[in-house]
Chain A
């Protein structure tokens, strides 16, 4: 199998095209690392070892170097995640405003701990650092939606909006 077809096996033609398009705006191929992972994650939800290797090959960089970038960012997922990713801020303002209680409520409601995915694949729970919404603390972000002024009581309602 040729290298290109191997690549396409791991990445779709659309993904490869989108990454190549990014590269045209950048000084070198490696600089597209984060963007490339975003493109692939958008389609697949996470970056598997296979995707990681394929992206690294496409960008002409060592897999290790790409993984170093992937694992540095908390919004690049190296494990499969649920349909919705719920990220609860645990930085100082949210802490002061009681994010602990919110966390307990979320975990109890979903029956999983932080860092885990519900057995039905509906939610993955993750902590996150300050979301810049301290004035509305405690906050969380589900997929791309910022939800503010949380309380333990508001959780069931909020979660029911995502299936």
Chain B
């Protein structure tokens, strides 16, 4: 701790910090642009100037940049003195010289850091009368708008995009007052974290393109805290709505998990909520593709009748909430319940859970990931399966620079000093993967091979950690040595290749490190947002067994909750089951191949229209709150199930509210913690104290539906959650899990987030949300290596062996139905070794057809691919489900025409 004096008042501050950080932490208002808590200080904008005094007798002082000055004990500064104020006002006047002052048409307006800082400095009169330089804007792809004239040259965008996120196609061009931030030519910004520029840029240069299609000012949005449904990381989000449409997703700060940043799948993948493919009514199938709309009550009565008749099997889903899964499991009984994962996925998720329990290695949060000092990624393509982990790993590797800076006495926030001192030295990251990945640029060494050989590589590393034989390949030896000599070694692996042996090998490496006296961490990625929840709930039937049982004819009714079974097993197996069963009941939000075969369909609420719980890779249970009331008959799946069961005379599903379901969830094994995840509807007791979803400036409430009804409709009362659908209520000091947006006096932009943290960049005020359901620590035994069938690759004559390849845009079911993600993703593809491609007569730009999968794939050639094997984009058309085993015949499709790449199109300039 240090004592500093600011305008004559003493403050106790954190000694290691800079003065800007220290002042903001004390609630003092000091404007800034280029400093960012995650990016550090570079002193580029000169906006945070203060006067620093040598001692108590110094009355003149000298101008200094607060963000570049350490908060040493005894530091004396003034923010308020006239010279400092005038200097800051001049700075903003210079920065604004070329700014178009176009706030009324700028999408940053109302949540603009530049507006806030302009007001804070008091520079409220424009004096410049000269010509302004104007720029041509660029087409940057489906995610971002570009409006360069608004730039104030703070350099935050390139520092985030290049230094933090590893991007290469955004740069600062030019010099002086003609600095341009963009690409060399128009084109899609390639980095997977580009959407963060919306929040990082303090002005309206980079804004959210899908949001601008039906734009709403921040003050007119209603929002609720939510959890990203894109992958197993479970980043915390703010989801916003108006007129019953999901408008946008913003980052919700979580100190241990996503910090300040989301990936683009999460930010732009929620658009499926507004899809025209939404199921909005209860439907009864009359013939193929033709459904009669039923009244909800009638549908419930029909389902109740089926339940009464018995012989019901239930298939849940790893993309549905714990609540919905537990409701279905309770309804059909454990023995008739299947989690909804494919058999392969389920056995892998079980294996992961067993492994995590058997080791005392902690599951790292993302902030733990960043503190590792040696990492092995074994077989998992994290950038495509759990993207936010890849962003954290970039920091892990870069953090070597922080350690070196610490040794050299350079403050951690001194960004330029820290990185130039490190001279590019990085913490070691070893990647063993099927194909090159998007984070290879930061790896110390790489190994590419087919999945089972990657597992061998893992076991070899484990053996080498115990005792080096001297004959290991270089990669194995180097990785083992790096992990062994690290303070905080980290192993990352997961399910993306659907290979048990890889997860077992990861467990073996961790066990070897433990035996060597290390305290390693183990991060295992599962496929979906609630895969861990599904795994912990478990079911009596795995997918193949469930389908077999249904296909055998002994099942009258199959209830599928929020799942497209065609993605979970081979087509014939699914078809056989779904066509045999008398009643197929599907509850889902989107029309899917499964739903279109249903006899009875119920419209399910998405994460945005319901309240529920997901369990992430850390086994952290996290609550997402309903953002807005669903239209038409849409309701949470658990509610349809509970009502029908009650109708059928069951007394164990008499739940009226999500909190009642949660009570049932909490009674299941491993789930005791779920009630403590976030406040329930009874929080603070009174409905007057509910947290408002609408902002305090919400406008047009009496008029927004005037085209339908000139009277203001009565605000619905939210009995489900501690949030209200209005402006009224108490939005103060609530637990962080209940924060609907960030906004503070004078701080209208998301930069106000520091007002909702315990310390800047630390835990969220009131503690980071979520409750971990499993503690690690030697429960059970570490799974040993199972006997895996060794199978060689094939070839042109025999057919090829398929390996799943994951893509951030396209592999995930729900996000790949969000329009901007559709525009950003490629067509289904297959990756060949150069030799196989040549033998097959295939080349880039051609297509190969696969009769087993019934689809054609764009050809990609990659020198790292092993001959005899073919990588297939899973989740894409033709490869939605589990890939078939065995050797699969492929042939060049002479009729294939590549779909024109929308990315090459220059849509709008100007």
Contacts and interface: CB of A to CB of B under 8 A. Distances in A.
Interface of A: 49, 52, 62-65, 67-68, 71-72, 74
A74 B174 CA distance: 9
A67 B175 contact: no
B174 A71 contact: yes
B94 interface: no
Given A49-B184, A52-B184, A63-B184, A68 B171 contact: yes
Nearest to A74: B175
A67 B170 CA distance: 10
A62 B169 contact: yes
B173 interface: yes
Contacts of B173: 67-68, 71-72
Given A52-B184, A67-B184, A72 B169 contact: no
Contacts of A71: 173-175, 180
Interface in B176-225: 180, 183-185
Contacts of B172: 68
Interface residues of B, number: 12
Nearest to A67: B184
Contact of A64 (B174, B175, B183): B183
22 contacts: A49-B185, A52-B184, A62-B169, A62-B171, A63-B184, A64-B168, A64-B169, A64-B170, A64-B171, A64-B183, A65-B168, A67-B171, A67-B173, A68-B171, A68-B172, A68-B173, A71-B173, A71-B174, A71-B175, A71-B180, A72-B173, A74-B175
B647 to A, nearest CB: 62
Given A68-B172, A71-B180, A72-B174, 8 more contacts: A49-B185, A62-B169, A62-B171, A63-B169, A64-B171, A64-B183, A72-B173, A72-B175
A90 B298 CA distance: 83
A59 to B, nearest CB: 13
Nearest to B173: A71
Contacts of A49: 184-185
B329 to A, nearest CB: 51
Contacts of A65: 168, 171
B182 to A, nearest CB: 9
B424 to A, nearest CB: 9
Nearest to B424: A28
Contacts of A74: 175
Contacts of A63: 169, 184
A13 to B, nearest CB: 25
Nearest to B169: A64
Nearest to A63: B184
A68 B170 CA distance: 9
A62 B175 contact: no
A65 B173 CA distance: 9
A63 B174 CA distance: 15
B436 to A, nearest CB: 15
Top 3 A-B residue pairs of the complex, sorted by shortest distance between their CB atoms: A62-B168, A64-B171, A68-B171
A72 B171 CA distance: 11
| B171, B172, B175, most chain A CB atoms within 10 A | B171
A2 B185 CA distance: 24
Contacts of A64: 168-171, 183-184
A32 B573 CA distance: 60
Contacts of A72: 173-175
Contacts of B185: 49
Nearest to A70: B173
Contacts of A62: 168-169, 171
Nearest to A73: B175
Contacts of B174: 71-72
B204 to A, nearest CB: 22
A99 to B, nearest CB: 18
Nearest to A28: B424
A52 B173 CA distance: 14
| A63, A64, A65, A72, most chain B CB atoms within 10 A | A64
A62 B171 CA distance: 10
A64 B161 CA distance: 12
| A62, A65, A68, A72, most chain B CB atoms within 10 A | A68
A67 B180 CA distance: 11
Contacts of B180: 71
A71 B175 CA distance: 7
Contacts of A67: 171, 173, 184
A67 B171 CA distance: 8
A122 B185 CA distance: 29
Nearest to B185: A49
Nearest to B181: A68
A150 to B, nearest CB: 24
B770 to A, nearest CB: 38
Contacts of A68: 171-173
Nearest to B172: A68
A49 B184 CA distance: 8
Contacts of A52: 184
A127 to B, nearest CB: 11
A5 B711 CA distance: 73
Contacts of B170: 64
A74 B185 CA distance: 20
A38 to B, nearest CB: 18
A62 B175 CA distance: 19
A20 to B, nearest CB: 23
A86 to B, nearest CB: 20
A49 B185 CA distance: 9
A36 B180 CA distance: 23
Interface in B351-379: none
Contacts of B171: 62, 64-65, 67-68
Interface string B251-269: 0000000000000000000
Interface string B606-643: 00000000000000000000000000000000000000
Contacts of B183: 64
A1 B129 CA distance: 55
A125 to B, nearest CB: 17
A62 B187 CA distance: 14
A52 B170 CA distance: 16
A26 to B, nearest CB: 15
A143 B636 CA distance: 74
A72 B169 CA distance: 17
B177 to A, nearest CB: 13
Nearest to B183: A64
A21 B358 CA distance: 58
A68 B161 CA distance: 14
Interface string B562-593: 00000000000000000000000000000000
A74 B184 CA distance: 17
A37 to B, nearest CB: 14
Contacts of B169: 62-64
B468 to A, nearest CB: 32
Nearest to A62: B168
A48 B347 CA distance: 56
B437 to A, nearest CB: 18
A65 B184 CA distance: 9
A71 B179 CA distance: 9
Nearest to B168: A62
B312 to A, nearest CB: 58
A68 B184 CA distance: 9
Nearest to A66: B184
A64 to B, nearest CB: 4
Nearest to A52: B184
Nearest to B184: A67
A72 B184 CA distance: 13
B231 to A, nearest CB: 27
A65 B180 CA distance: 13
Nearest to B174: A71
Nearest to B158: A68
A63 B184 CA distance: 7
A61 to B, nearest CB: 8
A65 B169 CA distance: 8
A71 B183 CA distance: 12
A73 to B, nearest CB: 8
A83 B66 CA distance: 50
